Amino acid sequence: MTNHLLASRRASAVPRGVASATAIFAARAENAELWDVEGRRYVDFAGGIAVLNVGHRHPKVIAAVRDQLDLYTHTAFQVVPYAPYVELAERLNTLAPIEGDAKTIFFTTGAEATENAVKIARAATNRPGVIAFAGGFHGRTLLASAMTGKVSPYKKGLGPFPGEIYHVPLPSETTGVTIDETLRALEFLFAADVEPERIAAIMLEPVQGEGGFHMPDPALYRAIDQLRRDHGILLIADEVQSGFARTGKMFGIEHAPIKPDLIAIAKSLAGGFPLSGVIGRADIMDAVEPGGLGGTYGGSPIALVAALAVLDVIEEENLIARANVIGARLRQRISAFASRDDLVRIAGLRGPGAMIAFDIVDGKGRPDGIEAKKVCARALDAGLILLSCGRFGQTIRILVPLTASDAILEEGMNAIDKAVSPRAPVEQGSTISAEALA
């Protein structure tokens, strides 16, 4: 079996709407390493897009799943409930930065989490409107796409979208938008489009993921808190990408000066198994009538026991502190790259904990998405899986497992050193996907 043969079969069998950043096909993986079907080894700095904070196939996670497989795999929690659902909810309710008592419900995907958070907020407030931010990403289902603040490729040709979704610019040092500009946009929104009393919730990523790893100006949280007090608008923290120790906190919103009313969770929650959820204030979570929430596979017992093991690993291996150590090492190396004049131009090094990103720019400091894709392609040729993101595709993001060894981190950074050298050609081989260079 070869990557080339599988890529040809994929092109015939799978629609082009699901793109792949690489044209390698996985054969096996352990912690922060992956081997393709041809036996080539890669260091993984993508982590399945922030899913593998505890690494590929952590032994504790695999053991929990194997034990569960011998008991039962599915009953549907709405039919016959089971203990792991309750146990994980109890642990998350204790960990989450929610004011007062909390409750948790489980689903399968990140989009389900963000959409159900909106459903809960609408039920609790009896209002339809949602405010989200330009550059935000909240999923690919219809309501989630409507909340996502980027047209191409997530909305282009896919509308119409649900109404009562409004966007304002995100104030951040790296977006170039000031808090005054965002507050003015909110004033215009409330004057021209919708009264604040019609808004159920504000949906916000504590660190924008797909948008380019931008953190909101802290003043935004103070403004949101004022809107909560004045108009009863709820705050939903979308922690799908930033949660579970990635940012040097259990939840990214813990870097903010306020606590959210609802938290959408997924990705690294279950160490590679599909699980998502919503954590929220108990009085808000109970606003939906019995039967109004759920899903056939929501809260799979397999994924739930994996998630319980993930929480154990985060605590036992001190991964919150480890995220800060990893981030400091990454920043040090990337800062050194940015100071050199023999490499592609690097700007905007940013991100909390081990949620690190930097931009590739041209000679005039403008975003250079084409060169960023080439950087990712050269990284792959050097044995490193690396992803880009951002409004113009100019951002290189690093989501290495928090369980990666120092040696693996160094190996990955050495590969980035090669990847940001414009003299290193992109090999035209089976490891580069058409999408990666498009």
What's the average model confidence in pLDDT over 339-345? 93
| CATH fold for the domain made of 3-54+318-437 | Aspartate Aminotransferase, domain 1 (3.90.1150)
Q: What is the pLDDT of residue 170?
A: 97
- 427: confidence class by pLDDT, cuts 50, 70, 90: low
Reported in sequence order, the residue ranges of 1-142 that DSSP labels E, i.e. its strands, are 26-30, 33-36, 41-44, 102-107, 129-133
Q: Give the residue extent of every domain in the chain.
A: 3-54+318-437, 62-316
What's the average model confidence in pLDDT over 220-239? 97
Question: For residue 384, what are the β-bridge partners?
Answer: 43
Q: Nearest Cα to 400, choosing from 359, 436, 351?
A: 351
Which option is the CATH number for 62-316: 3.40.640.10, 3.90.1150.10, 3.90.1300.10, 2.60.120.10?
Answer: 3.40.640.10
What is the dihedral angle through the alpha carbons of 367, 368, 369, 371, rounded to the nearest 10 degrees? -150
Express each pLDDT in 271-320 by its tens digit. Answer: 999 999 999 999 999 999 999 999 999 999 999 999 999 999 999 999 99
Distance from C-alpha of 275 to C-alpha of 106, rounded to nearest angstrom = 7
Q: What is the pLDDT of residue 428?
A: 46
Q: Nearest Cα to 210, choosing from 236, 249, 240, 237?
A: 240
> The tokens 């100071």 sit on which residue?
339
Average pLDDT, the chain: 95
pLDDT above 70 coverage of the chain, percent: 96
Express each pLDDT in 73-123 by its tens digit. Answer: 999 999 999 999 999 999 999 999 999 999 999 999 999 999 999 999 999
Q: Which residues contact 291 (CB under 8 A, 6 or more apart)?
A: none
Distances (CA, A) of 239 to 78, 231, 252, 269: 25, 24, 7, 10
pTM of the predicted protein model: 0.95
Q: Nearest Cα to 150, choosing from 410, 390, 434?
A: 390
> Would you tell me how many other CB atoms lie within 10 Å of the CB of residue 187?
11
